[in-house]
Structure formats: structure tokens, C-alpha cells
């Protein structure tokens, strides 16, 4: 893994520099606002510093010497082979102690508080590591006996991820990948930094609507019934219209319910944007042709059960039927409160319809965020927006991976 820091006058500028240097697959680990200091601070502007990483393809590397271990780096640590193998120890621990409810484990609570404190310190720790003049070095004793603190900590991370409903398969994967680079003797902070980075890389960068491309760009919202497609569409359209001053227009293909068109019309009226109802592919292309002056055309669609073949076919026709002259983006809207197994099925069925990005709604109704990671990994689709309430337009955010990972690891 290559990790570097980049500065810019804006967050976007710093991110752009990182992407240019590190290339595809760049992941932002941390964003820091640097306020000017000193008596001339009023003449200086705030700058931004991003810590970015890119994971290289697996390559054989010569393990570094133990005294050069860095806290957050994903490097192999050369230690004398421990007497009891780390992996085996963890496997035994898992077998002996299946994930327990927080409430039934008093010792777990103080460990949890400890984890929260450590998560708080994590970005500082990453910062320190990248300060080139003062690389942080960790003293590792030559050989350690079974390191009970590290083992306890690995077990707690394992349990916390499961409690947050990250699927066991992915939890095992993350832990096993961690085990490859961490050995008995790794400090708790090294373990945490490693798992944190693994999760950030797995989640990837959020991808959102591009409003600067060829006009008009057509944005479809698809997904099961009642997940919040129309509300989310209105929130996003409103942001683009009000904050970014883009020209937005609406189409609705949701002609199954009478109230559906009224709902969208209300938002269109508030935003003073045109809206058309479309029944066929031809009507869609004709309507968009008349919206050539608009930056973004938001298309609301009817929610349907993924078991309904007719509606699925109609949706496919609509998505495939968009005139090739137009660029499109498709967002699959999912509720964070839907069961894991159902989400898998939905992700599969909608994959047959289009390549989509993921929006998760109703995050205010759950505290377990594991399904976001599960579906991101299962579908391979990029995350985009998350919604946290019913208020239009404010209850929406672009996914913040640092925040999400902290939550997955038991932080606030």
C-alpha cells in the first residue's frame, strides 16, 4: 500500500492532486482542515490536507526490520516465528467464544470505551505516521508470549463488526487479511489502523452525480417500493438546483400509483422545474429531447417487488431504451433497514437491469451499518449518497467513508 499526503486550497484540489499522482483506485483515508496560525493568520486562507492511499497488486516483499515498523503501514512485520501461531490462536478464540450480546459481557464495555477512544485518536496517529521528519517507530520486543491484549482486541473488533451486522464472511476476510500482515506482538494501535485501512479501501471512494458533462444528463432512480426513491430524488435535485445552480427537470415513469405523480409534481413546483409523466420509452426520449437545455433530468420510477417479472421487464425496457445520445447514471435506492438476504436478492436482480451506484436510505432508523459494506462488496457497485431522515432537502449526505468505518468499528 502506498500512502501519501497532499495539500490544496480546497478539499477537492487536494483530492485531485492525490488522484493524479496515485492513479486509479486512490482512496482518501483522512481529510484535515489546516487553519492558518500566528499573527498574520487573517491574511492567510484555510488549506486542506488529505491523506490518500492506493493498494498495489499483491507482490512478494522482503519483510522490513522490526525496528522500522510504522503504526499504520500495511507492511509485513518480521518477527521471530511465535511459538503459538497467531491465526490458530484467533481461530481458537472464535470457536471458544461466539459473538455475545454487549449487555452480557461486562468486560466488553470497558473494551468498547477503549476502542472508541482509540478510534478518536486514529486520525492523529495516521497524521503522526506521515510526518516525514518524525516517523513514528514502535519498539517491538524480540519475542513475546501469547499477547493477550492484542488477541482480546482482535476478538473485540471481530465481535463489533458482527454486532454491526457486517456479514461473517467479510469479517473473516478482513481479519484474515489483517492476520497476514500482523503477527503476535503487533500493538493494539497497529491492529486498529490496519483494520481501519482495510475497511476504507474496501468501501472505496463515493461516486456522485456528474453535472458538468454533456447536457442533459439523465439520472434514474430505481429500487423496491417505499425505500425513498422519490424523496431522495427531490433532495438531490434540490441540492443541484439551489447549491450548484444547475438546471434540473423531472420525469416520472411511476404511473402505477395515482399519488406518485402528485408527489413528484409537488417537488417540481417547489423547485420551479418542469415535470413530465412518461408511459413509454418513446415518450421518455421525446420529453428529454425537449429538455436539451437542462443540465440534469431526474427520472423517478415505480417501486416494484423484485419478484414481479412484468414490472422488471418494463423497467429494463425503459433503462435500455434511453436514446444513446444521452449520458445516463442509474442509482439503486436501498433502505438500510432491509434484511441482508433480501438486499442480496435485490442487488442481483437489479444488476440484470443496469450498472448502478448505491444509495442507502433511512440510516436514521438503524444503528447497524454493516449492510452498507455487505452490499457494496457483494454487488461491487460504488456507494454514493445516504439519507438520514424525511426532511427534503437537508437529510442527505454523500457517503463519508471515514465516518462510516468509525461507526462500523464501534465509534460514534
| Site residues, ligand GTP (CB under 6 A) | 225-231, 254, 260, 303, 361-362, 364-365, 387-390, 395
**Which grid cell is 123?**
486520525
Q: Where are the alpha helices (DSSP H) in 217-322?
A: 229-242, 258-270, 281-289, 309-320
Packed helices 106-130 and 188-203: angle between N→C axes, nearest 10 degrees: 80
**Nearest-approach distance from CB 220 to ligand GTP, in angstroms:** 13
**Nearest-approach distance from CB 229 to Mg ion, in angstroms:** 5
**Nearest-approach distance from CB 84 to ligand GTP, in angstroms:** 48
Residue (of 310, 305, 372, 308) closest to 337 by Cα position = 372
Residue (of 266, 277, 260) closest to 225 by Cα position = 260
Is residue 230 within the footprint of Mg ion (CB under 5 A)?
yes
- Residue that is written with C-alpha cell 476476510 in the block: 173
Dihedral-angle region of residue 174 (phi above 0 means left; psi in -120 to 50 means alpha; beta otherwise): alpha
Number of residues lying near Mg ion (CB under 5 A): 2
108 binds, among ligand GTP, Mg ion, none (CB under 5 to 8 A by kind): none
- Residue that is written with C-alpha cell 501461531 in the block: 85
**Nearest-approach distance from CB 311 to ligand GTP, in angstroms:** 11
End-to-end alpha-carbon separation of the chain, Å? 27
**Nearest-approach distance from CB 366 to ligand GTP, in angstroms:** 10
- Residue 62 has φ and ψ, to the nearest 5°, of -75, 125
Cβ distance to Mg ion smaller for residue 216 or 224: 224
What is the DSSP pairing of strand 47-54 with strand 2-8?
A: antiparallel
Cβ distance to ligand GTP smaller for residue 111 or 260: 260
198 binds, among Mg ion, ligand GTP, none (CB under 5 to 8 A by kind): none
Q: How far is residue 381's CA from residue 363's CA, in Å, rounded to a whole number?
A: 19
Residue (of 301, 259, 258, 312) closest to 278 by Cα position = 301
Q: How far is residue 198's CA from residue 191's CA, in Å, rounded to a whole number?
A: 11
Helix%, strand%, coil% for the chain, nearest 5: 45, 15, 40
- Residue 202 has φ and ψ, to the nearest 5°, of -70, -35
| Upstream peptide bond of 393 is cis (omega within 30 degrees of 0) | yes
Cβ distance to ligand GTP smaller for residue 80 or 226: 226
For residue 31, the cross-strand partners are 50
Is residue 374 within the footprint of Mg ion (CB under 5 A)?
no
75 binds, among ligand GTP, Mg ion, none (CB under 5 to 8 A by kind): none
Cβ distance to ligand GTP smaller for residue 186 or 231: 231
225 binds, among Mg ion, ligand GTP, none (CB under 5 to 8 A by kind): ligand GTP
**Nearest-approach distance from CB 206 to Mg ion, in angstroms:** 23
Cβ distance to Mg ion smaller for residue 111 or 264: 264
The closest residue (CB) to ligand GTP is 303
Cβ distance to Mg ion smaller for residue 74 or 254: 254
**Nearest-approach distance from CB 351 to Mg ion, in angstroms:** 21
Cβ distance to Mg ion smaller for residue 230 or 387: 230
Q: Where are the alpha helices (DSSP H) in 330-399?
A: 340-351, 370-379
**Nearest-approach distance from CB 409 to Mg ion, in angstroms:** 34
Cβ distance to ligand GTP smaller for residue 179 or 395: 395
Cβ distance to ligand GTP smaller for residue 135 or 226: 226
Q: Which of residues 200-229 bind Mg ion (CB under 5 A)?
A: 229
Is residue 252 within the footprint of Mg ion (CB under 5 A)?
no
**Nearest-approach distance from CB 364 to ligand GTP, in angstroms:** 5
Which residues form the interface with Mg ion (CB under 5 A)?
A: 229-230
Amino acid at each position: 500500500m502506498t500512502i501519501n499526503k497532499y495539500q490544496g486550497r480546497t478539499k477537492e484540489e487536494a483530492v485531485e492532486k492525490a488522484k493524479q499522482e496515485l492513479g486509479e483506485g486512490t482512496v482518501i483515508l483522512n481529510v484535515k482542515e489546516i487553519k492558518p496560525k500566528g499573527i498574520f493568520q487573517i491574511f492567510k486562507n484555510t488549506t486542506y490536507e488529505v491523506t490518500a492511499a492506493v493498494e498495489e497488486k499483491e507482490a512478494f516483499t522482503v519483510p522490513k526490520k522490526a525496528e522500522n515498523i510504522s503504526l499504520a503501514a500495511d507492511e509485513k512485520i518480521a518477527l521471530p516465528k511465535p511459538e503459538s501461531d497467531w491465526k490458530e490462536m484467533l481461530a481458537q478464540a472464535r470457536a471458544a467464544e461466539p459473538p455475545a450480546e454487549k449487555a452480557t459481557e461486562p468486560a466488553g464495555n470497558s473494551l468498547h470505551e477503549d476502542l472508541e477512544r482509540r478510534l478518536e485518536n486514529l486520525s492523529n496517529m495516521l497524521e503522526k505516521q506521515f510526518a516525514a521528519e518524525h516517523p513514528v517507530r514502535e519498539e517491538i520486543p524480540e519475542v513475546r508470549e501469547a499477547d493477550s491484549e492484542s488477541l482480546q482486541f482482535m476478538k473485540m473488533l471481530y465481535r463489533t463488526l458482527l454486532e454491526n451486522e457486517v456479514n461473517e464472511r467479510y469479517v473473516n476476510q478482513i481479519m484474515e487479511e489483517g492476520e497476514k500482515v500482523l503477527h503476535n506482538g503487533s500493538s493494539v494501535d497497529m491492529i486498529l489502523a490496519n483494520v481501519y485501512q482495510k475497511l476504507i479501501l474496501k468501501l472505496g471512494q463515493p461516486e456522485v452525480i456528474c453535472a458538468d458533462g454533456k447536457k442533459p444528463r439523465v439520472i434514474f432512480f430505481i429500487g423496491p417500493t417505499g425505500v425513498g426513491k422519490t424523496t431522495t430524488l427531490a433532495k438531490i435535485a434540490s441540492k443541484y438546483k439551489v447549491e450548484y445552480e444547475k438546471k434540473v427537470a423531472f420525469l416520472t415513469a411511476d404511473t402505477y400509483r395515482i399519488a406518485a405523480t402528485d408527489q413528484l409534481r409537488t417537488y417540481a413546483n417547489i423547485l420551479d422545474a418542469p415535470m413530465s409523466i412518461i408511459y413509454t420509452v418513446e415518450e421518455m426520449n421525446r420529453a428529454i429531447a425537449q429538455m436539451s437545455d437542462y443540465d440534469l433530468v431526474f427520472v423517478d420510477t415505480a417501486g416494484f417487488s423484485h419478484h414481479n417479472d412484468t414490472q422488471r421487464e418494463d423497467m429494463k425496457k425503459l433503462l435500455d431504451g434511453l436514446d444513446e445520445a444521452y449520458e445516463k447514471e442509474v442509482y439503486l435506492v436501498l433502505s438500510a433497514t432491509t434484511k441482508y438476504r433480501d438486499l442480496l436478492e435485490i442487488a442481483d436482480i437489479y444488476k440484470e437491469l443496469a450498472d448502478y451506484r448505491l444509495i442507502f436510505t433511512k440510516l436514521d432508523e438503524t444503528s447497524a451499518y454493516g449492510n452498507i459494506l455487505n452490499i457494496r462488496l457483494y454487488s461491487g457497485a460504488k456507494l454514493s449518497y445516504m439519507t438520514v431522515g424525511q426532511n427534503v432537502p437537508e437529510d442527505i449526505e454523500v457517503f463519508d467513508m471515514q465516518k462510516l468505518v468509525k461507526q462500523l468499528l464501534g465509534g460514534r
